Amino acid sequence: MTITQGFNIVDDALSLAVSDLEQRGMPRDEAHIALLIRLWKIVPDEVAEVAQMLRDDPELVAAISKEADVEKDSAAAAI
């Protein structure tokens, strides 16, 4: 599994959670806040600190974006 595939799985799970909360009457912004608070509560502090550093790393963001573009091109070529 590539990092992009992993992110896609996480993105899909988060989108599903937000959609479910919205269907139950929670506004979208509040659903996002609720997810973040819950994640901060269940993820160990050390892991959260590493994730925070990585999210602000321009090289990592560029690498993820580049890999996503390559996978999109590959998927389009396969059609």
Measured CA to CA, the distance from residue 25 to residue 52 in angstroms comes to: 30
**The pLDDT of residue 75:** 57
Q: Which long-range contacts (CB under 8 A, 24 or more apart) does 19-25 make?
A: none
- Contact assessment for residue 55 and residue 36, using Cβ atoms and an 8 Å cutoff: no
For 4-61, what is each residue's pLDDT tens digit? 788 889 889 999 999 999 999 999 999 999 999 999 999 999 999 988 888 888 888 7
DSSP 8-state code for residue 2: -
Say if pTM beats, i.e. exceeds, 0.75.
no
Among 2, 68, 10, which residue's Cα sits nearest to residue 35?
Answer: 10
Mean pLDDT across 58-68: 74
**The pLDDT of residue 51:** 86
**The pLDDT of residue 56:** 86
- Contact assessment for residue 8 and residue 71, using Cβ atoms and an 8 Å cutoff: no
